[in-house]
Structure 1
């Protein structure tokens, strides 16, 4: 089944070329079906890139999905045109009276700031508080995962001495958990962040289950309150070249970044990376939509 997106969204052309089944509003109105309503709070600076990456995975399931993109009202994006935001995004004040079957809160390049110093932190905490009553399951990605752990459970992040970037091997700790159905015992996933989580702080909360992690990259997939909150500390949604683009961006900024680990063949940035995580990205999103959204949400919200 398709995802329903605005007819003029730039991601549409890319997804159509990849044979992702999409549908615009005109055709969707003729379908006699209860679609899943998914809200995406996109905090990434390159919003159009993140839109395409997320829609690619949301459109790879048998479920019909309506997607609403939301931006912060208290922070103005510097990397996405105001026209694009006005045309395709809403703000919290315009949707807070609604119910959503699922929500995604993306990462953001603000990890090196204390949470309370982020200019939209108060707005984000209002949204996360609202999600507890108005969203069946929320999937938090990278900094969004750390923000959720801090807000819901008081677990703070730990700074790395330098940026963690690369594609790392992960192990499964809870093989019977539905979110991991179909996962290999060991699998790969990209990470790109400046902070980590303390395992003992996670273990102190019985309502949090650590499902997967990496010896090099730390805790990876966490589930809380029976799937009401799901936290993923890396970026399974990333395209093959996303880490390379971030590396080049950091070079131009004069940050002098380390080469992403286990990413470029022979550690040669002149060679094209090989995607080793795509299938597990599809599994993660399809399992989330099926088991924690579709099978858990009411057919009709009160």
Structure 2
């Protein structure tokens, strides 16, 4: 089944060239089915690149997914044309009275910024609080995972001394959990963050199900027991060259970044990197859509109620 996105969204042509089934709004209007409604709060600077990455992963499902894009505020963007934002993105005030099957909150380049110093921190908190009563399942990615843990568990910001950058091996911790259905015992996933997520810390201070961990990168995947909040500390959506672009950017800014771990062939930045995490990324998003969203959401979103979800679901 397809994802439904605005007809003129730049991602449309890219996804079609990759033979991904994308349905236009015009065609979707003739379909007499109940699509999943998923909201993406895009906090990354390069909006078009990020939205395309997430749409690619959301397309790998037999479910029809109706996507809406949300921006955190109306400040001008240095990396995304104003016309694109005005055309394809909504302000929170436009959707706050509606219910959604799923919400994805992306990462943000704020690893060294304290929460209270983030210009939109209070607004982000209000959106995450709103999601408790209006969204079936929320997926927090990278920096958003740390923000979500602060909101839900009042965990303080934990920052590593050095940036974690590269592709790391992870082990599954609960092979029978629906989110891990079909996962290999070990898999690779990229990280690019300063945040620190150790298993011991999350096990001590939360009641989360720890689903996948790395000896080096710590917790990669965790979920509340009702699957209504899922935390991904890495970047399964990244393209093959995304970490390279970040590495080159940091070099150009006069920083001394370490070479991303297990990323370049022979650890040589002159060698083109190859993605080694695509299969797990597609499976993760497919499982989230199926087991955390589709299997739990009410058929009629107007009847959404937080009381419909219990920890035993």
Sort the TM-score into its range (normalised by shorter chain): over 0.9
Answer whether contact 2:199 2:213 (CA < 8 A) is retained.
no
The answer for unaligned runs of 5 or more in structure 2 is 304-313
Counterpart for residue 33 of structure 1: 33
- Displacement of 1:205: 4.3
Answer whether contact 2:172 2:212 (CA < 8 A) is retained.
yes
Counterpart for residue 79 of structure 2: 79
Q: Secondary structure at the match of 1:210?
A: strand
Answer whether contact 1:104 1:139 (CA < 8 A) is retained.
yes
- Deviation by residue 1:61-96 (Cα, 9 ceiling, x = unmatched): 100000000001264432111111000000101100
Alignment partner of 1:212 is 2:212 = yes
Counterpart for residue 308 of structure 2: none
Counterpart for residue 120 of structure 1: 120
Alignment partner of 1:8 is 2:13 = no
For residues 100 and 189 of structure 2, what CA distance do their matches in structure 1 show? 28
For residues 49 and 122 of structure 2, what CA distance do their matches in structure 1 show? 26
What number of residue pairs does the alignment pair up? 302
The 1:74/1:25 distance shift into structure 2, 3 A limit, reads: closer
For residues 274 and 73 of structure 1, what CA distance do their matches in structure 2 show? 35
- Displacement of 1:226: 1.4
- 1:39-118 alignment to 2 at 5 Å? 39-73=39-73, 75-118=75-118
Counterpart for residue 186 of structure 1: 186
Answer whether contact 1:74 1:119 (CA < 8 A) is retained.
no
For residues 74 and 14 of structure 2, what CA distance do their matches in structure 1 show? 30
For residues 144 and 77 of structure 1, what CA distance do their matches in structure 2 show? 19
Counterpart for residue 152 of structure 2: 152
For residues 103 and 73 of structure 1, what CA distance do their matches in structure 2 show? 17
Q: Secondary structure at the match of 2:216?
A: coil
Alignment partner of 1:227 is 2:233 = no
Alignment partner of 1:296 is 2:303 = no
For residues 199 and 214 of structure 1, what CA distance do their matches in structure 2 show? 9
For residues 18 and 116 of structure 1, what CA distance do their matches in structure 2 show? 41
Instruction: Provide TM-score, normalisation by structure 2.
Output: 0.94
Answer whether contact 2:115 2:157 (CA < 8 A) is retained.
no
- Displacement of 1:206: 5.3
Q: Secondary structure at the match of 1:273?
A: coil
For residues 148 and 260 of structure 2, what CA distance do their matches in structure 1 show? 26
Instruction: Provide TM-score, normalisation by structure 1.
Output: 0.98
For residues 33 and 205 of structure 2, what CA distance do their matches in structure 1 show? 39
For residues 3 and 262 of structure 1, what CA distance do their matches in structure 2 show? 33
- Displacement of 1:199: 3.0
- Deviation by residue 1:23-78 (Cα, 9 ceiling, x = unmatched): 11100000010000000000001111111110001111100000000001264432
Counterpart for residue 21 of structure 1: 21
- Deviation by residue 1:101-148 (Cα, 9 ceiling, x = unmatched): 000000000111111110000000000000000000000100011100
Counterpart for residue 173 of structure 1: 173
- Displacement of 1:258: 0.6
Greater Cα offset, 127-136 or 189-198: 189-198
Answer whether contact 1:75 1:119 (CA < 8 A) is retained.
no
For residues 103 and 218 of structure 2, what CA distance do their matches in structure 1 show? 25
Aligned CA RMSD, in angstroms, stands at 1.1
Counterpart for residue 243 of structure 2: 243
For residues 154 and 108 of structure 1, what CA distance do their matches in structure 2 show? 20
For residues 218 and 155 of structure 1, what CA distance do their matches in structure 2 show? 16
- Deviation by residue 1:230-267 (Cα, 9 ceiling, x = unmatched): 00000011111110111111111111211000000001
- Deviation by residue 1:139-190 (Cα, 9 ceiling, x = unmatched): 0100011100011111223211121100000001111100001110000000
